[in-house]
């Protein structure tokens, strides 16, 4: 490390072990595009303010643009001895254009520089992940439209509970993911302030135009407090918390895909493209992508904990601990982005089994609530009606029947209000259609929800059908094919 990097205060080179320990270029070199954009905006502002000559600024911009090309093309040689992305770029610039390159850092510190880089990166990453969520939502909208007439058991406590439409269940997945998208974009909006000009912690004596650099980099405004600008990373915590929440939603979706693909459920057949076999059991078709998505959620939650623990004991202004903020943030975005892509493919190419879902509907007493509701609608207090329905279920369990197998006399033995219309109430389609409320599983409500989701996505300029077409989404399995 040259003494020019740190000034004349130091008489010895940094110890080799300390250099390896403190170097971060293997991680933060990923910020090179943001770092160069920030530097170009800064030096153009310096020239506009008369702080550096225009000719010097032009030479610096040209040098930075040339380095940017080399980095994009993979020709730039990173040097661990220069510690981080900032020093690698600035030192290379000075080697190429001479002492003029040293003027780039006028009125700036690496503290506000890295804060700017991370805000630029996080803003862009939030928007990119939100776009991936939209693609998954588009696939869910298309799959829901194709399964409106498929009924399945809804579950509580992993016990069959009440009948719903498969489309209604898929739309439940979509709702959580859409909120995750909103959280990421809220974070991008909140972090959209420029730290440039905050310098190390107390600003600078140079007459910087902070509004100019903020505009050049697409920020809404400069940050309001220089200490806060360089000393807080709550926007990274917020982004990573949103990612962790998204990862948990994806994990729960994955869990259902894993369960549904078992022989015990048989609700879904996963595509060969998103499953693997066994090294010893030839018959196996394992939902490994869904399992990995479930497992990788722990990494993202760990990334959030990493950031929180790193920050919790820091005094205000910049501390070197903050060098450790980048790896967990990069990992969280990368993991969630990959998981979104994989699960989008899993869902788009899965084949759902109408036949298996119908069998599950018949065997699970999912019509027991219909019996209680039927009585309550005729003036029987619901708690009494609930008790009567429970006794009828117990009778069926003892005799190996389902509720529709009982005779009218057996119904009336439990309560005299029953008449022959009770049998119509036990039809699963009827039971679902009776739940005709906003947010419910009745057919017209589900169709309206699909159209509303498509409308939201179209309003974001997403072509829903074009996205789904990329995956060759499969139809519901024909029961006749299952029996063949």
Alpha helices for 313-350 (secondary structure H): 326-349
Q: How far apart are CA 281 and CA 277, in angstroms?
A: 8
DSSP summary character for residue 243: H
DSSP summary character for residue 437: S
Q: How far apart are CA 130 and CA 180, in angstroms?
A: 8
Instruction: Name the catalytic one among 157, 279, 407, 421.
Output: 157
What does the DSSP assignment read for 221-261? EE-S-HHHHHH--HHHHHHHHHHHHHHHHHHHHHHHHHHHT
Angle among Cα 112, 242, 138 to the nearest 5 degrees reads 120
Reduce the secondary structure of 178-196 to three states and give it as a string: HHHHHHHHHHHHHCCEECC
Pick from 392, 348, 353: which is nearest to 370 by CA?
Answer: 392
Annotated catalytic, 109?
A: no
Give the number of other Cβ atoms within 10 Å of residue 292's Cβ: 14
Annotated catalytic, 278?
A: yes
Angle among Cα 33, 34, 36 to the nearest 5 degrees reads 70
Instruction: Name the catalytic one among 278, 404, 458, 472.
Output: 278
DSSP summary character for residue 153: E
Give the gyration radius of the chain's Cα atoms: 30
Do the Cβ atoms of 193 and 230 come closer than 8 Å?
no
Token duo for residue 409: 């006399």
Catalytic residues: 157, 278
């Amino acid at each position: 490390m040259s003494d020019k990097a740190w000034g004349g205060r130091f008489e010895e080179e940094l110890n080799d072990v300390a250099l390896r320990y403190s170097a971060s270029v293997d991680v933060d070199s990923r910020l090179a595009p943001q770092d160069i954009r920030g530097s170009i905006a800064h030096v153009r502002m310096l020239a506009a303010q008369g702080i550096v000559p225009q000719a010097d600024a032009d030479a610096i911009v040209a040098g930075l643009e040339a380095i940017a090309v080399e980095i994009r093309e993979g020709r730039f040689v990173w040097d661990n001895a220069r510690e981080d992305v900032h020093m690698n770029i600035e030192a290379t610039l000075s080697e190429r254009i001479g002492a003029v390159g040293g003027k780039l850092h006028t009125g700036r510190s690496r503290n506000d520089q890295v804060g700017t880089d991370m805000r630029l990166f996080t803003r862009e990453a939030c928007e990119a992940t939100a776009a991936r969520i939209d693609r998954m939502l588009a696939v869910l909208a298309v799959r829901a439209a194709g399964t409106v007439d498929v009924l399945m058991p809804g579950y509580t406590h992993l016990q069959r509970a009440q009948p719903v439409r498969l489309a209604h269940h898929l739309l439940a997945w979509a709702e959580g993911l859409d909120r995750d998208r909103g959280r990421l974009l809220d974070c991008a909006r909140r972090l959209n302030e420029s730290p440039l000009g905050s310098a190390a912690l107390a600003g600078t004596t140079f007459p910087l135009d902070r509004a100019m650099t903020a505009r050049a980099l697409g920020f809404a405004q400069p940050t309001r407090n220089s200490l806060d600008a360089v000393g807080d990373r709550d926007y990274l915590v917020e982004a990573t918390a949103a990612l962790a929440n998204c990862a948990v939603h994806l994990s729960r979706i994955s869990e259902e895909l894993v369960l549904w693909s078992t022989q015990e459920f048989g609700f879904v057949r996963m595509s060969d493209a998103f499953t693997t076999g066994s090294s010893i059991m030839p018959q196996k078709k394992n939902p490994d992508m869904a399992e990995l998505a479930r497992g990788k959620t722990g990494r993202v939650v760990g990334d959030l904990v990493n950031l929180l623990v790193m920050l919790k004991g820091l005094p205000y202004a910049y501390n070197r601990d903050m060098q450790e903020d980048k790896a967990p943030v990069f990992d969280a975005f990368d993991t969630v982005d990959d998981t979104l892509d994989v699960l989008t493919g899993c869902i788009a190419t899965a084949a759902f089994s109408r036949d298996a879902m119908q069998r599950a509907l018949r065997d699970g007493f999912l019509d027991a609530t219909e019996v209680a509701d039927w009585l309550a609608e005729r003036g029987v207090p619901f708690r009494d009606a609930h008790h009567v329905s429970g006794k009828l279920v117990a009778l069926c369990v003892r005799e190996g029947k389902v509720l529709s197998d009982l005779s009218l006399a057996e119904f009336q033995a439990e309560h005299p209000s029953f008449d022959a219309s009770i049998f119509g109430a036990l039809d699963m389609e009827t039971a679902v259609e009776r739940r005709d409320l906003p947010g419910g599983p009745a057919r017209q409500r589900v169709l309206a929800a699909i159209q509303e989701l498509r409308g939201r996505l179209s309003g974001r300029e997403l072509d829903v059908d074009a996205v789904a077409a990329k995956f060759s989404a499969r139809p519901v399995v024909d029961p006749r094919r299952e029996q063949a």
